[in-house]
Amino acid sequence: MKWTRKPGEPIYQRRHMVALVLAVAIPLVLLQLYRIYVGPLSLDFQLGVGLFVSVILGLALHLAYRSSARNEP
């Protein structure tokens, strides 16, 4: 069975996927670096910061790449 795109499904490029991986990884890396170099954080604070940074990076990705994600006719 050959995989095909559905009509109207966006065509994502490699840079979209790299940016998405970075948007997911950056909050985790920042929190771990803070924990290593500064001190422990509460779980609530970690979850709040992770969620906040992820939402901000997600919006930035949407704004940056919405014009380059073409729709297939």
pLDDT at residue 65 greater than cutoff 70: yes
Give the residue from 70, 71, 64, 67 showing the smallest Cα distance to 20: 64
pLDDT digits (tens, 9 = 90+) for 33-64: 888 888 888 888 888 888 888 888 888 887 87
- CA-to-CA distance for 47 and 27, rounded, in angstroms? 10
Q: How many CB atoms lie within 10 A of CB 29?
A: 10
For position 11, what pLDDT does the model report?
65
Q: Report whether pLDDT(25) > 80.
A: yes
| DSSP-assigned letters across all residues of 30-57 | HHHHHHHHT----HHHHHHHHHHHHHHH
Predicted model pTM: 0.58
* Mean pLDDT over each residue of the chain, to the nearest integer: 77
User: SS3 of 70, please?
Assistant: strand
User: Which comes out higher in pLDDT, residue 66 or 47?
Assistant: 47
